[in-house]
Structure 1
Amino acid sequence: MSKFICRLLAWLCLSFWAQVQAANTVSSSTEASLARSTAPSVVFLNPGYSTEPFWVSYTEFMQAAASGLGLRLRVEYAERDPLAMIRMAREAVTATDRPDYLVLVNEQYVAPRILQLAQGSGVKLFLVNNTLTSDQSRLLTENGAPPSELLGSLVPNDERSGYLMLKELLRQHGPLAPGQTLDLLAFSGKKLTPSAQLREKGLLRALAEHPQVRLRQLVYGEWNRERAYEQASQLVKRYPQTALVWSANDEMALGAMQAFEEAGRQPGKDVLFSAMNSSRPALQARIDGRLSVLFTGHFSLGGWAMVMLHDHALGVDLARHGGYDQQLDLMQSLDQARARAWLKMNPAKDYRLDFKRFSLVSHPDGERYAFSLDGLGRR
Structure 2
Amino acid sequence: MVFLNPGKTGEEFWDGYVKFMQAAASDLGMQLRVLDSQRDRDLMLAQARTVLQGDSKPDYLLFINEQYAAPEILRLAKDSGVKLFAVSNTLTPDQQHVLGSSREIYPNWIGSLVPNDVDAGYMMATGLIQHARESHSGQPLEMLAFSGVKQTPSSQQREQGLKKALAENPDVRLRVIAYGGWQWQRSYDQARTLLPRYPNVNMVWTASDEMAFGVMQAAQELGHTPGQDIHFATINSSAEALQAKIDGRIEVLVSGQFTIGGWALVMLHDYDNGVDFAKRGGKDRTLPIYVELDETQAARLAKHVVGKDNYGLDFRRYLLQKQSKLRDYNFSLRPLID
For normalisation by structure 2, the TM-score amounts to 0.95
SS at match of 2:237: coil
Hey, what's the Cα distance between the residues in 2 that align with 1:244 and 1:62?
A: 34
- Gap change, CA 1:217 and 1:311, over 3 Å in 2: same
- What letter is aligned with 1:101? Y
Q: Aligned partners of 1:377 and 1:336: how far apart in 2?
A: 10
- Relative to structure 1, the CA distance from residue 203 to residue 231 in structure 2 (aligned partners, 3 Å threshold; closer, same or farther) is same
Percent sequence identity over matched residues? 50
Match of 1:78 among 7, 14, 37: 37
1:319 Cα offset (Å): 1.1
* Distance in 1 of aligned mates of 2:161 and 2:261: 23
Partner secondary structure for residue 361 of structure 1:
helix
Task: Provide the residue aligned with 1:162 in structure 2.
Answer: 121
Separation of aligned partners in 2, 1:58 and 1:49: 12
- Equivalent in 246, 255, 274 of residue 315 of structure 1: 274
**Residue of structure 2 equivalent to 1:7:** none
Write the distance in 2 (CA, Å) between the matches of 1:132 and 1:233: 35
Q: 1:252 to 1:45 in 2, by over 3 A?
A: same
State the one-letter code of the partner of 1:96. D
Closer/same/farther in 2, CA of residues 343 and 366 from structure 1, 3 Å limit: closer
State the Cα distance separating 1:318 from its structure 2 match: 1.7
Query: Aligned equivalents of 2:134 and 2:329: distance in 1?
Result: 39
Structure whose CA Rg is larger: 1
**Kept in 2: contact 1:102–1:123 (CA 8 A):** yes
What is the rounded CA distance, in whole Å, between the counterparts of 2:182 and 2:236 in structure 1? Answer: 11
2:62 is equivalent to residue 95 of structure 1: no
Deviations 1:79-123 (A, max 9, x none): 101111111111111222210000010000111101111111110
CA deviation string 1:174-204 (max 9, x = no partner): 3599975311000000111100000000000
Instruction: Give the distance between the partners of 2:239 and 2:324, measured in 1 at CA.
Output: 41
Judge conservation of contact 2:123–2:292 (CA < 8 Å) in 1: no
Please tell me the root mean square deviation across aligned C-alpha atoms, in Å: 1.9
Q: Kindly tell me: are residues 176 and 77 of structure 1, through their superposed partners in 2, closer, same or farther at Cα, counting changes over 3 Å? A: closer
The alpha-carbon deviation at position 349 of structure 1 amounts to 1.1
Distance in 2 (CA, whole Å) between partners of 1:65 and 1:350 is 8
Distance 1:176 1:49, change over 3 A: closer
- Are the equivalent residues in 2 in contact too, given 1:350–1:376 (CA < 8 A)? no
1:367 alignment partner, SS class: coil
Q: How far 1:338 sits from its partner (Å)?
A: 1.9
DSSP-derived class of the 2:15 partner: helix
Task: Quote the Cα distance in structure 2 between the aligned partners of 1:341 and 1:240.
Answer: 36
Matched with 2:262 is: 303
TM-score of the superposition, structure 1-length normalised? 0.85
How big is the shift at 1:283?
A: 1.4
Q: Conserved in 1, the CA contact under 8 Å of 2:24 and 2:265? A: yes
Deviation at 1:207, TM superposition (A): 0.2
SS at match of 2:308: helix
Please state how far the C-alpha of 1:142 moved relative to its aligned partner: 8.6
Deviations 1:233-265 (A, max 9, x none): 111100000011000000000110111111111
Partner of 2:315: 355
Distance 2:256 2:228 in 1: 26
Question: Residue by residue, what CA displacement relative to the aligned partner does 1:266-310 show, whole Å, maximum 9, x if unpaired?
Answer: 100011001101111111211111111111110000000000010
2:149 counterpart residue number? 190
Question: What is the match of residue 329 of structure 2?
Answer: 369
What does residue 303 of structure 2 align with? Answer: 344
- 2:292 aligned residue: 333
Distance 1:246 1:267 in 2: 12
Retained in 2: the 8 A contact 1:45–1:85? yes
Q: Secondary structure at the match of 1:151?
A: strand
**Contiguous gaps of at least 5 residues in structure 2:** none
Aligned partner letter, 1:361:
Q
Give how far 1:171 is off.
2.1
- What secondary structure does 1:269 align onto? coil
Question: Residue 330 of structure 1: SS of its match in structure 2?
Answer: coil
Q: How far did residue 141 of structure 1 move? A: 2.0
Report the CA distance shift for 1:247/1:143 in structure 2 as closer, same or farther (over 3 A): closer
Partners of 1:64 and 1:352 within 8 A in 2: no
Contact 1:274 1:294 in 2 (8 A): yes
CA–CA separation in structure 2 for the residues paired with 1:354 and 1:373: 14
